[in-house]
Chains A and B, each alone.
Chain A
Amino acid sequence: MSTFTTKARLKNGLVEPFIKPPFGEPDEVVVTFVKYGEEDADEALFRQIEPQYRRIRREVFKERYPDLYQKYYGAAEKGSA
């Protein structure tokens, strides 16, 4: 089984993912609605930079641990090629 998580926008009651999964049409879609509650200033700041932070984290993981990258993300990478 493959899963893919992405952020999405809620517009007029419709959920629109920002990017499509690398494996084509999914068999099932699960939506998580999040309400940020007692969030401090640092967490709000982090949320703004989080997409860049996650992208860079994945890049560094790939470079430092190439075998582990292949093990955990290789299939998804091939699927998106």
Chain B
Amino acid sequence: MAQLKKAVLDTSVIIAGLLSSSGGSAKIIEACKNGTLQCAVSSSTKDEIGRNAEKLGSLVVEKFNALAASLHTIYPTAELVDAFTEFTDPDDTHLLASCKTWNAEYLISLNRKHLLKNQKAQTATHARIVSPGDLIQSVSL
């Protein structure tokens, strides 16, 4: 049996997937829940989602709680987070550090400004940084 793909999810993907059931983010979340994709979030992302969800309403909180059990949580060290500031905005480096810590194959994000197409970050983490749509096309989710 083929090894499941390992993907770290950015907060942006989870929030978009919880808010809209029709986009690529929702498909990624569905793949996490049904086990066709092995998904993880950083401890920071988990905090961020909780706080965003509180502001977006109780339905989003419920959906997030249902998803949380399907997600691994990664706790990257401050040293590793600091090391990745060379490649992107310091606020976003916990995602790169999580990819490295968990040996993820993908980082899925909607953040075009700092992460998508960031070749240096991809080389440093050995993870492909892709949008939900890109991943769905490349691995036929």
Contact = CB atoms under 8 A, between A and B. Distances in A.
Contacts of A68: 78, 81-82, 85, 90
A54 B43 CA distance: 16
Interface residues of B, number: 34
Contacts of B19: 45, 49
A64 B92 contact: no
B45 to A, nearest CB: 9
Contacts, number: 80
Contacts of B78: 65, 67-68
Interface in B1-46: 11-13, 15-17, 19-20, 22-25, 43-44
A57 B20 contact: no
Interface stretch (B47-55, B63-71, B119-127): B47-55
Question: Interface majority SS on B: helix, strand, loop or mixed?
Answer: helix
Counting chain A residues whose Cβ lies within 8 A of the other chain, the interface size class is 20 to 34
A43 B52 contact: no
A64 to B, nearest CB: 5
Question: Interface majority SS on A: helix, strand, loop or mixed?
Answer: helix
Contact of B44 (A49, A61, A67): A61
B44 A40 contact: no
Contacts of A46: 12, 15-16, 110-111
Interface of B: 11-13, 15-17, 19-20, 22-25, 43-44, 47-48, 51-52, 55-56, 78, 81-82, 85, 90-92, 94, 110-112, 131-133
Given A42-B131, A53-B11, A57-B91, 17 more contacts: A41-B23, A46-B110, A46-B111, A49-B19, A49-B52, A50-B12, A54-B91, A56-B51, A57-B11, A60-B44, A61-B90, A64-B43, A64-B44, A64-B94, A65-B82, A65-B94, A68-B78
Interface of A: 40-43, 45-46, 49-50, 52-54, 56-61, 63-65, 67-68, 71-73
